[in-house]
Chain A
Amino acid sequence: MDKLKNNLVFVISLFMVLVFTVPGVFRPDILLDAATWIHGQILELFGWAYLVAAFLFVVFNLFLAFSKYGKVKLGKQHEKPQFSYFGWFSMLFAAGMGIGLIFWGVAEPMSHFLNPPEHINSGSGEAARFAMQYSFFHWGIQPWAIYIVMSLCIAYFSFRRGMPPLISSCFYPLIGDRIYGPTGYLIDILGVFATLFGIVTSLGLGAMQITSGLGEVFSFQAGYTAMLIVIGVVTILFMISTISGVDKGIQILSKTNIVLAITLLAFLLVVGPTVFILNIFTNTIADFASGFLNMSLSTNPFVGYEWTQSWTLFYWAWWIAWAPFVGLFVASISRGRTISEFVAGALIVPVLLTFIWFSAFGGSAFHVEMTQEAGIAEAIADDVSVGLFLLYEHFPLTPVLSIITILLLSVFFITSADSATFVMSMMTSGGQLYPPLWKKVTWGLVISGTAAVLLYAGGLEALQKMAITAALPFTVIMLLMCMSLFRGLRYEFTVEGGPEGEKAKEYIEEEIREPDR
C-alpha cells in the first residue's frame, strides 16, 4: 500500500510538471494569460482572506509559544536538538529567504520609493519611509509565521507522534485514516506542485541575477547561453550537495552563506553610510512596530487597493505557496527543539537579520539615490536583477563585492535547490527521511531542466503565478493544520498528561530498550 502511494504521488507529481511546463514552453503567452487571470481573480476575491489568515498564523504561533503547549518538544521529550543554534539559524535563513533577500534587498525599497500607492508622492521622503516600513513588513513576521505553522505541524506529527514527515500526516486528528487515501494524496501532491513551481521560478530569477552580476563584473552581455551555463554549474554543485545528505551538505553551505552574507552586511555597515543605516533601522523598527496591526489587516479598499494587491497580497500568497517546501525542510532540521524555542527562534533571529539587511542595503541605496542621484530606482524599474550591482558601483572594491554576491547567490541557489530536491523526494517517498537517491536525482534534474527551458521560452512568470494559485487551497489547508495541531496538543495534555505524561515515559522506556534506534 505504502509503495503504491509513494509511486502514485511521484508519478502524478511528475505528470503535473509536464502538464504545466509544456504549455509554458510552446505557448508561454497563453499560459501567462490564463495564470494572470486566475491569479487576478484569486487576489480580487480572496485577498482579504490571505491577510486574515497570515495574521491568524502570527496569533496562533504566539499563543503556542506562550501557552503550556510551548513546553512540548518536537521529538521525544528528552531529545536534544540535532543542529547547533548557528547551524539551525543558518539553514532557517537560507531556506526561508535566501535568494529572495539578495534579489529584493535593494530592489524592493527602491520600487516602493519610485512607485508607492497613489496617495503618496513618488520619490518623496514619505515614499522612502513607506518603502522601508513595507519592506520590513513583507519580509518580517508574517512570512515566518506562515513557515512556522507548517513546520510545527509537520515536526510535531512526525517527530513526536511517529508519523511520516508529510503534510497529509498533520491531518490525522481531523480525518483519521483517510490521510492514507485520495484526500491525503491530494494534499501531498499539491505540496509537491507548489514546491516545484516555486523553486523553479525562484531559481530562474536567481540564475538571471547571477548572470547579470557576472555580466557586470566581466563586462559581457548576459544572454541565455550564460544563464544556461550558470544553471548547469549550479545543478552539478547542488546534486553533489544533495547526494551528500541533509546534515552535511546543506549545513555546510548554509553556514558558508551566513558568513558571506554577514561579510557583505558588515562591509556596507562600515564602509557605507553607517549612521544613516542605523537611523533607518531604528526609525523603521518603530514604524513597523507601531503600524504592525494596521499593516497586517489593511486591504486598503479606498486608496492603494491595487498596490496592496500587487505587493502585500502577492507576497502573502507567495509565502504560503513556499510554505510546504520551507515548512518541511525547517521541520526536518528542528527536531529536538521545544515549541516555544522554535517559535521564538524562528520569529526573532531571521526577522532581525532581515531587518538589518534591508536597512543596510535599502538604506545605502537610498543614500546613494538621494545624495548622488544615481538612478538606481529607475534602473530597477527596468530590470530588478541589476539593483544590487548598480549599488556596488558607488562603493570601493566593486568587483570583489560583486563576486561575493554572485558567490552568495550561487550558494543560496544551491542550498534552495538542494533542500527543495530533498523535500520533494521526501514528499514523493511516503515521507522517508532518507529518500532514494534516484528520486533526488530525478527531482534535481526536473528543477534545473524546467528552469532552463522556461527561461528560454519565457514561461517563468506564468509558472510563478501558477505556484501562487496553489496558495489558495494551502491557506485553507494551513488553517486546518492549526486546528489539527491544537487538537493533537490538547489531546496530549488532557489524555496523556502533557509532555511529562505517559507518552514521554513510553518514549524513555523505548529508548532504554533500543538506545541506538
Chain B
Amino acid sequence: MLKTTVVPLNLKEPEEKLKDLAGFVSHFGTKTVYLMHVYSGSEEEKERRVSVLKERAVLFRDRGMSTETEIRSGAIAGEICKAASEREADYITILWKKKNIVRRTILTSPDTDLLRICSYSTLIFKYRGPDRIREWVRDKDGRGRDNYDKAGAGSADTSQPGTIVYATDCKRADKKVLPYLKSVPFGARELHLLHVRERAPDPESDRKRKEELSDKLDEMAEQCRSSYDNIEKVLLTGSVRRRIAGETRARNADLLVIGRNDKVRPMDKVLGSTAESLPHQTHCSVLIIA
C-alpha cells in the first residue's frame, strides 16, 4: 500500500538523518523511492547537485529499495506534487525541519505549503536522535512498553516504529486509514487508538456518546488485533490538536497516523486543518493518509 514514495531533499540533510529516514520508510514496505530536488539555478551547480543526490540514493538502496533521482525546476511544493502524480507515488516523504511560528509565517515553508496543497498521503519524518534504542519490555501487569537505553546505542534498529498512535476521528477517515494499519508491515508492537472528542452539551448525551465511541474503538481494535502485540484504546475530551500532540508525547509514540479529512470547516481554511497543524506540534513522525 505504501510501495512507492517521492522524497524531496534540499541536499543539506545530514547523512545520519537520511539513514534513519531510509530505515523508517523501509518498515512501511516501500519498494521504490524517487529522490528529487528542486533547483532553478546554473547548469554547473545543477550537475553538482545531481551527483550529491545520487550519493544520497545509496542510503536508500542499502535498505533494499530501488531508487531513482531527479532534479526539477519550479515552485518546490508544486513540483513535488507533480512528481508524485507523474510517478504514481503512494505517498510523499518529508524530512521535517522544525521552524518556529515567526519563520513559518513570514518566510513560509515548502513543507507547510506542501501539506496545504497536496492531496497525497504524506509521511512527515522526524529524526529523534542517534542514541535512541528500543527494547521491548513488559510490565508486571503484562502491558508492553518501549524501554530506551542509551548505553545500547547502535545495537538495534532504531528506525523501526515501536509504538503507533492512530488519532481516529471515528468517522470517514477510518475507512481510509484502517486498511493501512492492518496491512502495512510497520512492525510496530503497540497500536494506540486515540480519539479526542468534543464534549456533548449535556452529561447524559456525553455519557451515551462515550459509550458509542468506546464501542467503535473496540471494533477497530478487533480489526487490527492480528497485526500488533498490544492495542490500547484512549478516549479523551478537549482540543483535538492539543490533546493529540500531548498524548503522542506522553505515550512516547514513534509514529502518529491520521486521516486527512476531505470536509474542511471554514475556520480550518484560515487556521489550517488538523492534518496541517499537527506536524508542528507533535514530537514524532506523522503519517497522513489521504
Contact = CB atoms under 8 A, between A and B. Distances in A.
A176 B200 CA distance: 9
B237 interface: yes
A162 interface: yes
B129 interface: no
Contacts, number: 38
Interface in A173-189: 173-174, 176-177
A381 B107 CA distance: 62
Contacts of A177: 203
Contacts of A176: 199, 206, 237
Contacts of B198: 173, 487, 490-491, 495
Interface in A35-78: none
B139 interface: no
B201 A487 contact: yes
Contacts of B203: 163, 172, 177
Contacts of A174: 199
B43 interface: no
A177 B206 CA distance: 11
Interface in B195-251: 198-206, 209, 237
Contacts of A173: 198-201
A487 B204 CA distance: 16
A177 B200 CA distance: 11
Contacts of B204: 162
Contact of A162 (B199, B202, B209, B237): B202
Nearest to B237: A176
A499 to B, nearest CB: 13
Contact of A157 (B199, B202, B206, B237): B202
A161 B203 CA distance: 9
Contacts of B200: 173, 491, 495
A472 B209 CA distance: 36
A161 B205 contact: yes
Interface in A127-185: 156-157, 161-163, 172-174, 176-177
Contacts of B237: 176
Interface in A181-218: none
Contacts of A172: 199, 201-203, 206
A96 interface: no
Given A176-B206, A176-B237, 16 more contacts: A156-B201, A157-B202, A161-B201, A161-B205, A162-B204, A172-B201, A173-B198, A173-B199, A173-B200, A174-B199, A176-B199, A177-B203, A487-B198, A487-B199, A487-B201, A491-B200
A495 to B, nearest CB: 7
A496 B202 contact: no
A491 B200 CA distance: 7
A174 B206 CA distance: 12
A492 interface: yes
A367 interface: no
A157 B199 CA distance: 13
B212 to A, nearest CB: 9
Contacts of A487: 198-199, 201
Contacts of B202: 157, 161-163, 172
Interface in A106-146: none
Contact of B205 (A156, A490, A496): A496
Interface string A478-517: 0000000001101110011000000100000000000000
B199 A503 contact: no
A325 B159 CA distance: 62
| Those 6 A-B pairs whose CB atoms lie nearest each other, nearest first | A488-B201, A161-B202, A161-B201, A173-B199, A173-B201, A163-B202
Contacts of A488: 201
A168 B202 CA distance: 12
Contacts of A503: 205
A68 to B, nearest CB: 13
Interface string A455-491: 0000000000000000000000000000000011011
Nearest to B209: A495
A487 B206 CA distance: 13
A503 B201 CA distance: 12
Contacts of A163: 202-203
Contacts of B201: 156-157, 161, 172-173, 487-488, 491-492
B203 to A, nearest CB: 7
Interface in B174-212: 198-206, 209
A177 to B, nearest CB: 7
11 contacts: A157-B202, A161-B202, A162-B202, A163-B202, A172-B206, A173-B198, A173-B199, A173-B200, A173-B201, A177-B203, A490-B198
A114 B162 CA distance: 79
A157 B204 CA distance: 12
A438 to B, nearest CB: 29
Contacts of A496: 205
B267 to A, nearest CB: 11
A421 B200 CA distance: 32
Contacts of A495: 198, 200, 209
Q: Quick one: which of A162, A491, A503 has the most chain B CB within 10 A?
A: A491
A471 to B, nearest CB: 26
